Amino acid sequence: MRVTGKVTGLDPLKRKIAIFPKEVQRPMDKLLIQEVRTLAVESARVTLPFGLSDKTYKKLAARIKSDILRIFKRADQLGNAYQQLEAADPALAQQYWQAQQSGDEPRARRLLRKLSAKAGVAIGAIRPELHQAARTAQYGRVPDNAKTVAIISKGDALNRYIAKVQKQIGAVKAGWIAAAKALGGTVRGIPRWANTGAHKNSHGNAAVKRAEKGSTVELTNQVSYAPQACDDGQLRHAERRARLRLQNAIAEKLKAMAERAFRQRK
């Protein structure tokens, strides 16, 4: 699935521009490409998580960690999940607690498996689909009142999973940056976490279509889950702002070219 943004940007001016010779249209195309490159960066900015600062990354990384730790618990760090297990079978929970306190790890593990089954809580390896199913709050977050859905038998596995999910932050933004880079030129001011270097599978493209009545550039974000991360209203606002900037830039360029031609004829 693709998310695209199209900018013609020439509506009030394209009839006038069409009558100019090709040597005038070339700088107009250059302005269009320059502005669409800026639009691609702005599209990255308004894609979740909003912004391009390191503060944005750190805030979401912390939220992801707390979300995951809310629904996944280490077997040796049950925390408030113990109350959830205890409610399912108080007597069995007491036996588990006693085995744990006495250092009888094999018995504690057996009792924990029985207790988890009674409480309807999965136990064992990380199951990413349980995380996805729990993301029912706004922006795909886990609700603050979510209960434990799984107990992870190996703590290191949980830490690795958290790090893996955090590395996905900015993948859709990188799709827009890839589209900007497809236009050529330099794309500056993009933090590493939102750039193509950190997300090598985040692809994007920009198709330039030239015609007698003006040129069109279409940006394509090819990240599969871009539709969920991109706000259509925000993208349309970004396109309108880009169109106005482009119209102003074209007007200024035409004015400068006309003044230069006038001076040369004097």
Q: Quote the domain boundaries for residue 13.
A: 3-47+170-265
Q: Which of 237, 216, 208, 219 is nearest to 10 (CA)?
A: 216
* Same domain, residue pair 161 and 120: yes
The reply to whether 131 and 93 lie within a common domain is yes
- Asked which of 141, 166, 191 is the last residue of a domain, the reply is 166
Q: Which of 5-19, 22-36, 70-84 has the highest mean pLDDT?
A: 70-84
Q: What percent of the chain has pLDDT over 70?
A: 87
Q: Are 43 and 129 members of one domain?
A: no
Higher pLDDT, 266 or 126: 126
Are 72 and 149 in contact by the 8 Å Cβ rule? The answer is yes
How many structural domains is the chain composed of? 2
Measured CA distances, 138 to 8, 174, 228, 244 (Å): 33, 22, 11, 32
Domain assignment of residue 54, yes or no: no
User: Of 135, 166, 197, at which residue does a domain stop?
Assistant: 166
Asked if residue 250 and residue 156 are part of one domain, the reply reads no
Q: Which residues sit opposite 255 in a β-bridge? A: none
Asked whether residue 53 is assigned to any structural domain, the reply reads no
Does the pLDDT value for residue 99 go beyond 60?
Answer: yes
Taking only the tens place, the pLDDT of each residue in 55-86 is: 999 999 999 999 999 999 999 899 999 999 99
Instruction: Note whether 71 and 157 are same-domain residues.
Output: yes
For residues 174 and 155, state if they share a domain: no
Residues 11 and 104 in one domain: no
- When pLDDT is cut at 50, 70 and 90, the band that residue 34 belongs to is confident
pLDDT at 95 over 90: yes
The pair of structure tokens assigned to 108 is: 């504690």
Whether 159 and 203 map to the same domain: the answer is no
The reported pLDDT for the residue numbered 22 is: 53
* Domain end call among 166, 185, 208: 166
Query: Residue 215 has what pLDDT?
Result: 73
Q: Are 6 and 221 in contact (CB under 8 A)?
A: no
